[in-house]
Structure formats: C-alpha cells, structure tokens
Amino acid sequence: MQNCIIASTSTIHGSGPLEYLFEPLIELFVDSDEILFIPYARPGGISLDEYTIGVNNIFKKINKKVLGIHMFSDTIEAFKNTQGIFTGGGNTFLLVDQLYRNKVIEPLKKAIDSGIPYLGTSAGSNICGLTMQTTNDMPIVHPPSLKTLGIIPFNVNAHYLDPDPNSTHKGETRETRIKEFHTINPQPVVGLREGSWLRIHQNDITLKGDLSARIFEQNKSPYEIPTGSSLLELN
C-alpha cells in the first residue's frame, strides 16, 4: 500500500523550507528515524553534498536524520533498510537522467509500492506521474527516457500558475502548454498550485492544502476540483 506526499513545492511564501508540511510529514514519517534523500535534481546547480546537508538541517527540526543516496557505494543497497524516502526539487530532466543512469528508477518504484513512506516536492513530485513531459523545467540534459514512476495514473504540473489577465507577457501560459501536450498525449494532468499536495494513503489519492487544483483531460475543458477531493478515478 503506497504511502506518499506529492507536493507542488518545498517552500511557500512567508514560510521556511518544508515548514508548511511539517505536521503531515511527522505523520508520514512517524516510524522513520532516517530518511533516504535523492538530491539528483540539484536546484541552481548546487552539489549533491550541499543539497543533502541543507535538507538534513531541515529534517532535524522534526527529529529525522537524512542520508543522501550518493553516499552509498551501491544505490541498490541504499534501499534495503530504508525507512523513508525524499526526492527534492530542482531540474526534472537532470533528476530523471540520474535516476536512470544510477539504476535507481526500479528500486525506487519498488520501495514506494511496498509502502515505504515517500515525500516528493517539485521535481520529486513530477517523477510520480506517468511521464515527466509536463514539467516546467528546461531540458539541460537528455535522459534515456521520459517515462517515470507511474505511482499515480496521471501527470503532474507542479508550481501550476493561472493566467494573469492583467499581464502584458505574450508567451504561452501553463494552460496553453498542457493543451499542447494533450494534442499528442492522452493522460490527464493535475495542475498543483503552490501549497497544495496529493496524499496517497489507504488506497486513495486526495488533494490537500487550502487551494483547488486544475484538472486537464484530453478533449475536455479544464476544470477545478476542491481540496479534499479524491483523484483515484482520474486516469
């Protein structure tokens, strides 16, 4: 039984990193003293060690210890005694590239499917969908595949932004980009606004946070679902 939090972002305005999620994270990782951290997305190009140290300092606030997966000589071994897993944000192309090249995709999916608690933020949430094709990131590397974990039966667009009717910007909106995606690809896309997350628990997928989510399905008009809604049937 999967046990996950899939969050749009790690940080919301006016709050420190992960602070808005501390309460649900204490529940998620209640039986986890050590968290296996996957830092491959490297936001801003920071090093794996720098990213891991920063995350460890955050998790100390809820009495958890973090070990970076790059600290293990064998990535397969890293999953053998794992009590919890966190994949952080950054560049989704780089994250997926490294997951494949370090042979982490399959053991990560197996661990999540076995019920090991999992937290994903931003890029770490994008990889929970069927593919990473609805990320907002630039393709700074070419991963072996765009296929991701398939923990949820749809794609995620983390950091979803609504069109600003007063903006003078003439570039494409997120909604336009997702509509382009649906001219070729059939799977639904969930636009997760900042401060929203999906809770996978007890065989359900529930929208959490204060905001609604925007749902995109092929050949349908986009629509909103309120917080507290189940997304289990969205496929």
Catalytic residues: 122, 137, 159
Tokens found for residue 78: 């890293």
From 91, 123, 124, select the one nearest 108 (Cα to Cα): 124
Task: Report CA-CA distances (Å) from 132 to 34, 129, 138, 230.
Answer: 28, 7, 12, 22
- DSSP for 72-87 reads SS-HHHHTTT-S-EEE
Q: With beta carbons less than 8 A apart as the criterion, state whether 117 and 198 touch.
A: no
Give Cβ neighbours of residue 5 (< 8 Å, ≥ 6 apart).
21, 24, 25, 28, 118, 119, 120, 197, 198, 199, 200
CA angle in degrees (0–180, nearest 5) for 190-192-195: 160
Long-range contacts (CB closer than 8 Å, 24 or more residues apart) made by 179-185: 179/216, 181/133, 181/134, 181/155, 182/216, 182/217, 182/218, 182/219, 185/131, 185/133, 185/218
- Per the CB < 8 A criterion, the answer to whether 17 and 10 are in contact is yes
